Amino acid sequence: MITELATNVYWVGAVDWAIRRFHGHVLSTHRGTTYNSYLIKDEKNVLVDTVWDPFAQEWLAGLRQIIDPARIDLVVANHAEPDHSGGLPPLMRLCPNATVVVSKRGAESIPGHYHQPWHLKPVGTGERINIGSSDLVFIEAPMLHWPDSMLTYLTGRNLLMPNDAFGQHYASAFRFNDQVNQEQLYEEALKYYVNILTPFSSLVTKKIEEVLALNLPVDLIAPSHGVIWRQDPLQIVRRYQEWAAQKPEKRAVILYDTMWQATRRMAEAIGDGLLAGGVPHKIIHAAAADRNDALVEVFRSKAVLVGSPTLNNGLLPSLMPLLEDLKGLKFKNKIGAAFGSYGWSGEGVKLIEQHLAACKIPPAAPGVLAKWQPTADDLEKCRALGHAVAAAVLAEG
Ligand code: FEO
């Protein structure tokens, strides 16, 4: 349903209640998502971002309720990823003379996706376009999270449209942050940050400082996914500052897989040691867990312990996507440890330690290896490992 956000400014997006996998199959979206698109009616009519192609026809039908698309003068494409640009081809067929406003890198990525002779206007940080009673102001945000990413600000309404930043994959009948369950909202906002923005955390910090230094009044932050921050809109900016600082909690996460329960028993003994040492933890069976949810636990936790039996001179394959993300997401300020059972060759623990080193996660204690099913002595070594990791977690300032 079209929603008026401010005088002559409308949400005209689409709610995708059903999607459960995003970015192909990279990201789980248990609560669906929205593709937010904004219409500003003024002397020049402006559309900021579109929707994913499967929703384009219903999106255009909604748009037609408040404007003839042929009357759109400017289309701001803050970012070329198809969940925001997918509606461009059908829209531009209806307003072929409209100008598509893009960042400088967007001048490569939009044509790179659509290969159409649209009239593009690249803009840089601080550039303004007057649309009548107000101005659009643009702020480039390269790598937040693509090279082309850009934020658009509307003067007069004090509306920041930061595209993917500050978003959540959260389908809702409501459009504003104060209308939804706060716990769910922040679960989704954090999951989004962890899985998409963590590698760019230092850029997030700098960009927020840069935007705050502009002293632009902000009454609404309208991202391209999820609800719009209306009540205390800067709350999500403060949260991003905290998340970008990557100061994990004094807790631990144990990621493991197991064939015949030996490594599971080791994981639980390590958990006992952590708890005895005063550190709360979660034990996650990688083969059964949602990878993106597990990564949220990793993000929150100071210590990451990884366990696998040795299989075919390597690790159980179910751990590999998590280990790949552990490297790619570039988590900071972690400590780690490895454990696992084996029957004959026994390289698993060493391989995990090498992997943690490649992720720049230093060892808090030497790993524990147990042959066949762990003995009472092996389980005691696991408890000692948990205790040593707990001590290292609590020793950090
Ligand atoms: Fe929501 Fe980068 O796409």
**Per residue in 64-122, pLDDT tens?**
999 999 999 999 999 999 999 999 999 999 999 999 999 999 999 999 999 999 999 99
Q: Give nearest CA residue, ligand 1 atom 2.
A: 81
**Residue 280 clears pLDDT 90, i.e. is over it:** yes
| Closest C-alpha among 390, 266, 269 to residue 339 | 266
pLDDT at 396 over 90: no
- Catalytic option among 16, 81, 188, 353: 81
Q: Which atom of ligand 1 is nearest to the CA of 146?
A: 2
Rg (CA), the chain: 24
Residue spans of the domains in the chain: they are 3-245, 252-395
169 is catalytic: no
Binding pocket residue ranges, ligand 1, CB within 6 Å: 79, 81, 83-84, 145-146, 164, 224-225
Q: Which position among 35, 42, 79, 170 bears the catalytic label?
A: 79
| Atom nearest to 196 CA in ligand 1 | 2
CATH entry 3.40.50.360 includes domain 252-395 = yes
% of the chain residues with pLDDT over 70:
100
Q: Are 3-245 and 252-395 in the same CATH fold? A: no
Q: How many angstroms separate the CA atoms of 168 and 296, rounded? A: 14
% of the chain exceeding 90 in pLDDT: 99
235: CB partners within 8 A, 6+ apart:
229
User: For residue 187, how far is its CA from the centre of ligand 1 (angstroms)?
Assistant: 18
23 a catalytic residue: yes
**Is residue 83 flagged as an active site residue?**
yes
Q: Whose CA is nearest to atom 3 of ligand 1?
A: 81
Q: For the segment 147-158, what is each residue's pLDDT rounded down to a tens digit? A: 999 999 999 999
Give the pLDDT confidence of 26-38 residue by residue, as tens digits.
999 999 999 999 9
Q: Does 397 score more than 80 pLDDT? A: no
Tens-place pLDDT, residues 296-335: 999 999 999 999 999 999 999 999 999 999 999 999 999 9
Give 213-257 as a DSSP string: HTT---SEEEESSS-BB-SSTTHHHHHHHHHHHT--EEEEEEEE-
pTM for the model stands at: 0.97
**pLDDT higher than 70, residue 189:** yes
* Arithmetic mean of pLDDT over the chain: 97
DSSP 280-340: -EEEEETTTS-HHHHHHHHHHEEEEEEE---BTTB--GGGHHHHHHHHHTT--S-EEEEEE
Q: Which atom of ligand 1 is nearest to the CA of 145?
A: 2
List the one residue out of 18, 85, 23 whose CA is nearest residue 56: 85
Give the distance (Å) from ligand 1 centre to CA of residue 379.
45
pLDDT value at residue 1: 86
Domain 3-245 has CATH 3.60.15.10: yes
